[in-house]
Amino acid sequence: MISTATKVVETLLSAFGPQKWWPAETPFEVCVGAILAQNTNWKNVELAISNLKRLSAGESGVGSRGSGGKGLDAEFVVRLGTAGLEEVIRPAGTFRVKAKRLMRFCKWLVEEHGGSLERLFDRGPESLREALLEISGIGPETADAIALYAAGKATFVADAYTHRILARHGWLDWESGYDDVRSWWMDSLPRDAALYNEAHALLVKTAKEFCKAKPKCDGCPLQKMLPDGGARERERW
Ligand code: SF4
C-alpha cells in the first residue's frame, strides 16, 4: 500500500513539478549556506556568500573558480579570522553567532579532514550526521542540510515548514520533536537522496505559498488530504 508520505510527495510533484534545489555552486557553499540560513531568508544568505566569494577571488588574484583559483574554501575562511568573517557575513543576520559557528566548522574541517569535504563525506549518512552534530552550534537541521545537499546522503531535512504541514494534517503532533518529524518521512520513503532533496524542496514551496503562519488551504495541492474538520492548529495557551 502506498504510504501517506509517498502520496504527499507525488501530489506535490504533479502540482509543482521538479524544484531543482539547492541554489549554491559548490558543496562548500552549501555548507556555508546551511550554517548561515538559520532564522533568515535565503536572499540574505546569498549576499553573505557572494561577499565571501568576492573576497576569496580577490585573495587568489582571479575573478572566478574557472580562472584557475581555488575559490571559496575552509582554509580561506580560517585565514579571514572571526572578526573579518563577522564583517563579511553581516547581511546574514546574527552575524557574530553565525561567524563563530562557521569558523568552528571550517577549523574542524581543516584540522580533522585536511580541509577536504571529500574526505569528510567519505562515510555513511548517519556517521556523517553524528560527526557534524559534534560541532558546537551545528544542530540536526543544519547537519541534515549539509549531509543531504552538500554530501548527497539520504537524510531528511525535517525543518519547521515540514513539521507544520504534518501537524496541520494530524499526521504528527505539534509537540513532536525534530527527530520524530525526520523519522516520519524516513520510515515511509525509500532511502534515496534525490527523492529527499525533491521532497524537501516541494514541502518548503508548499509552506511558503500555502501553509503559512495562517494556512491558505483553498487551492493548496494537499487540501484533499486534510482531516475532517480541516487543518489542525496548535492549541493556544
Ligand atoms: S491544505 Fe492547508 S494545512 Fe494542508 S498543507 Fe495546504 S495550507 Fe497547509
Indicate the domain borders of the chain.
4-20+156-225, 27-150
Q: Which among 174, 204, 206 is the best mutation to test ligand 1's pocket, defined by most ligand atoms within 8 Å of the CB?
A: 206
> Does residue 156 register a pLDDT over 50?
yes
Distance 44 CA to ligand 1 centre (A): 27
For residue 118, give every residue at least 6 positions away whose Cβ sits within 8 Å of its Cβ, in sequence order, or none: none
Residues linked to residue 111 through DSSP beta bridges, in sequence order: none
Decide if 189 contacts 4 (C-beta within 8 A): no
Tell me, which fold does domain 4-20+156-225 have in CATH?
Answer: Endonuclease Iii, domain 2 (1.10.1670)
Q: Do domains 4-20+156-225 and 27-150 have the same CATH topology?
A: no
Q: pLDDT at position 58, please?
A: 80
The residue contributing the CA closest to ligand 1 atom 1 is 223
The residue contributing the CA closest to ligand 1 atom 2 is 217
- Of the candidate ranges 153-157, 187-191, 232-236, the one whose mean pLDDT is the lowest: 232-236
CATH homologous superfamily for the domain 27-150: Hypothetical protein; domain 2 (1.10.340.30)
Q: pLDDT at position 41, please?
A: 86
> Does residue 154 register a pLDDT over 70?
yes
Give the whole-angstrom CA distance, residue 13 versus residue 86. Answer: 39
Q: pLDDT at position 10, please?
A: 98
Decide if 31 contacts 115 (C-beta within 8 A): no
Per-residue confidence band for 64, with pLDDT thresholds at 50, 70 and 90: very low
Decide if 210 contacts 216 (C-beta within 8 A): yes
Task: Check residues 25 and 84 and name the one with the higher pLDDT.
Answer: 84
List all residues whose CB is within 6 A of at least one atom of ligand 1.
165, 168-169, 206, 210-211, 215-217, 220, 222-223, 226, 231
3-state class (DSSP) for residue 215: strand
Q: Which among 223, 233, 234 is the best mutation to test ligand 1's pocket, defined by most ligand atoms within 8 Å of the CB?
A: 223
- Reply yes or no: is the peptide bond before residue 22 cis, omega within 30 of 0: yes
Distance 161 CA to ligand 1 centre (A): 11
